[in-house]
Amino acid sequence: MESGHVERADQASQGVTETDRAAATDVPPQRRGNRISQSLGRTARRWAEYSELSGAGNIARRAFANNSFDGVLTMVGVVMGGFAVGVEDPKVILVTGLSTAVAIGISGGWGAYLTESAERQRELTELERSTLTNLHESTIGQAARAAVLIVTATDGLSPFLAAFLVVIPFFLTAFLPSITYAFYMSLGMALLALFGLGVYLASVSQENRMIYGLKTAVAGVVCMGLSLLVEYLSG
């Protein structure tokens, strides 16, 4: 008798499972797409709330500008060094450049995580002491943890991506007449990236975009000139 009850219970549970699966597969694609978009929308609103509450957006914006600037100029130094000594193998620039990009990305992200975590924990601890409340699972606590992730991702990815952009032409040397074209394209892309960064900063400060773009691009020209000067003095 007991085995019969068990078998019927198993069949009933299997029937429920199959019914649930059938119901899930019967959901129209449009409805599934709406559910996904709604879920993404809720997640985006929640992260936007965390960003506004913690002030992470402003910090991330400054980190993006500073670290992208560092990434581009660092790579300008790498490319100019290869150009000055007459490197003819694109692999040398790619390995050196990408290794440098990874290093500055790890440096930015790791350093940001450690410092931001310490600062957010200090602020949260002080607030808990003043309110005599455990805020770890509160919206404030969640916003603090979200801020750490936002700032860490920005600090780590922005210099890496900016540096990677500059060395892209060296992936294309097989389609170019000589590696010299890759050097010129790389330096041109660096100046363009710096100019674009200046335009972005001008849009934030609501200043003249052309002037800001030229200000940041001039930094690249100065870096190139000093690299050539170093090569001349050392030669």
pLDDT the model gives residue 31: 66
Determine phi and psi for 180, rounding to 5 degrees.
-60, -40
**Domain stops at, among 38, 54, 70:** 54
The answer to whether residues 56 and 150 touch, using CB atoms and an 8 Å cutoff, is: yes
Unique residue bearing structure tokens 């019969």? 4
pLDDT the model gives residue 21: 52
* pLDDT of 34 over the 50 cut: yes
pLDDT the model gives residue 178: 93
Helix, strand or coil for residue 89? coil
* 35, 70: one domain: no
* 70, 128: one domain: yes
* 84, 49: one domain: no
* 226, 213: one domain: yes
* 44, 122: one domain: no
**Domain stops at, among 13, 28, 54:** 54
CA-closest candidate to residue 151, choices 66, 39, 43: 66
* 126, 177: one domain: yes
pLDDT band at 26 (very low <50, low <70, confident <90, very high): low
CA–CA–CA angle 78, 83, 86 (5° rounding): 125
Q: Which amino acid belongs to residue 61?
A: R
Pick from 17-31, 180-194, 201-215: least confident = 17-31
* pLDDT of 233 over the 90 cut: no
* pLDDT of 22 over the 50 cut: no
* 26, 131: one domain: no
What's the CA gap between 60 and 229, in Å, rounded? 35
* 30, 61: one domain: no
What's the CA gap between 105 and 130, in Å, rounded? 37
* 70, 44: one domain: no
Model confidence, pTM: 0.77
pLDDT digits (tens, 9 = 90+) for 37-94: 677 677 777 767 777 767 777 888 888 999 999 999 999 999 999 998 889 999 999 9
What's the CA gap between 179 and 90, in Å, rounded? 7
pLDDT the model gives residue 75: 95
**Mean pLDDT, all residues of the chain:** 84
* pLDDT of 6 over the 60 cut: no
pLDDT the model gives residue 55: 78
pLDDT the model gives residue 8: 44
Structural domain tally of the chain?
Answer: 2
pLDDT digits (tens, 9 = 90+) for 93-117: 999 999 999 999 999 999 999 998 9
* 119, 156: one domain: yes
* 165, 132: one domain: yes
Helix, strand counts (H, E) of the chain: 7, 0
* pLDDT of 224 over the 50 cut: yes
The answer to whether residues 173 and 179 touch, using CB atoms and an 8 Å cutoff, is: yes
* 192, 216: one domain: yes
What's the CA gap between 67 and 108, in Å, rounded? 8
Q: 149 lies in which domain range?
A: 56-234
Would you give the distance in Å from CA 84 to the centre of its chain? 31
**Domain stops at, among 54, 75, 98:** 54
pLDDT digits (tens, 9 = 90+) for 157-203: 999 999 999 999 999 999 999 999 999 999 999 999 999 999 999 99
Range 124-148 average pLDDT: 85
